[in-house]
Structure 1
């Protein structure tokens, strides 16, 4: 089916915690690299590689258990997707560790705040799919537990088309596949909102506060069920990682089918985040305005040294 005609249907990426059926275990894609499960065609994380990643297990009012991701953004706060925490009665959080069975921290909370424009009574994908979780303790940061910086409001509408991004999680390794024990990550390429909207047939779900990303170098690379609420990260203009997206949705045809995945831009929500948490998460990106050309009198050997040692890696400008 042509991309322009496909898919106004999208899947939220949280998933009920159930034992895999034999048919799920029979996927060739899941077993082709024995001992190397994938987020979807990604790689296993090293210990401490992604210290801001959190694993969530949420219990709904009917007793069902769901899995999601999240990120540490402060010693007392985590960031996730609103559909992960909506109508949940308790949240179990794992932090600091690549294996779910060996977290550095394991604790529970019941406090979360979803964006007021996200309607928790609806079960369909919608914009403003963002929320924060209040920890019931103050995290002590170390090599395995660290916060990540959020996208600056100055970059909230930045076009990341063609920019290399990274996402991670313990979500399923293929559509209807199994979830791994070890944290996985994968590179994705930013996709303009125009191209993303066209891929979903002009869907109104793709709005200014949406950021989309497609496969990096393998068509199947993507997020999948269980990755919701996790991070989409860029190496920013100052060389520091920033979370530019919160994992929200994929195509209704599946996780591995080559259509863009959708994320929520936290840069749009700084005012609300500060109102809820009392924490100022915004920051001012360095100016990228080029210096005026020097005159011959102003040119010096010092300028030559600075020029030869400067970095040219600002690929996301």
Structure 2
């Protein structure tokens, strides 16, 4: 994301969560990578500043970070915040989300590791907390498996697995999310109401991120409808999209939600991971509500995930 993407958009612009932008997408594809510089580092700093302010002043107003969303009433036990250290930038940290898959694996977006410009040196994985810098259970890892065909330039195969150095103990606050079964492998989930969880700011009009984990309910739409807002280069069979229009108005995910989960509830009301947050469209300023949001489709990456699950 560049200065143009941060508020001086011209023509048709697509804001990608990890800092890419596409200009005049129906003519050609132009991509620039700097998610960490443009989004992750500023978000991490603002979240930390707000948490410190909360600690000093309990009356501070904490705003939601997902557009149209609500603060999570308790930590989603499978959600893991990521504080990311970057190679060559020892004084700066970036931020993403992820999902716990087993006692020692979490899944996130590959661009949270490498956005085409900056590469992570280590991750601090935060489990069981609504806050990124305070509370919860914390694990440091440098072990990451990025999808072998991940391409930050064209947003393909945007999936990575983090290995935790030791097993986590499952509690009511820390527990893995279920992956789709073989029976669900062919389900497109179109029409389902899904939930996104993350640390993204509420809207482009807000000057800073907030500090409390947020969630929002979104409807899964078909890829043809999603592609009408993007193009064939971005929306592929490996993409799953949600509508930006909800019952209460415009809803969606925003920068800072990268890598976080999109899930549905099964017949037993158990969460099932169906998407990994990746991108959103914008024509005027970053993270405008009302446009579809894009995710890596989990059923398309089950072989890769299972290969690194244990």
- Same fold by TM-score, threshold 0.5 exceeded? yes
Question: How far does residue 82 in structure 1 lie from its aligned partner after superposition?
Answer: 0.5
Residue 144 of structure 2 corresponds to residue 112 of structure 1 = yes
Equivalent residue in structure 2 for 1:150, among 165, 179, 182: 179
Match of 1:94 in 2: 126
5 Å matches for 1:54-133?
Answer: 54-63=80-89, 64-86=92-114, 87-119=119-151, 122=152, 124-133=153-162
Give the distance between the partners of 1:217 and 1:125, measured in 2 at CA.
Answer: 33
Give the distance between the partners of 1:100 and 1:272, measured in 2 at CA.
Answer: 28
Equivalent residue in structure 2 for 1:204, among 233, 239, 253: 233
5 Å matches for 1:183-262?
Answer: 183-200=213-230, 202-215=231-244, 216-253=246-283, 254-262=286-294
Residue 179 of structure 2 corresponds to residue 137 of structure 1 = no
Match of 1:264 in 2: 296
Match of 1:43 in 2: 70
Match of 2:198 in 1: 169
TM, length-normalised to structure 2: 0.76
1:205 to 1:155, Cα distance in 2 relative to 1, 3 A: farther
Give the distance between the partners of 2:182 and 2:155, measured in 1 at CA.
Answer: 21
1:145 aligned counterpart, secondary structure: coil
Contact 2:276 2:297 in 1 (8 A): yes
Question: How far does residue 137 in structure 1 lie from its aligned partner after superposition?
Answer: 1.2
TM, length-normalised to structure 1: 0.74
| Aligned residue-pair number | 256
Question: How far does residue 89 in structure 1 lie from its aligned partner after superposition?
Answer: 0.8
Give the distance between the partners of 2:211 and 2:13, measured in 1 at CA.
Answer: 32
Structure ID, larger Rg: 1
Give the distance between the partners of 1:38 and 1:270, measured in 2 at CA.
Answer: 29
CA RMSD of the aligned region, Å?
A: 2.2
**Structure 2, unpaired ranges of 5+:** 1-10, 19-34, 47-59
Question: How far does residue 170 in structure 1 lie from its aligned partner after superposition?
Answer: 1.3
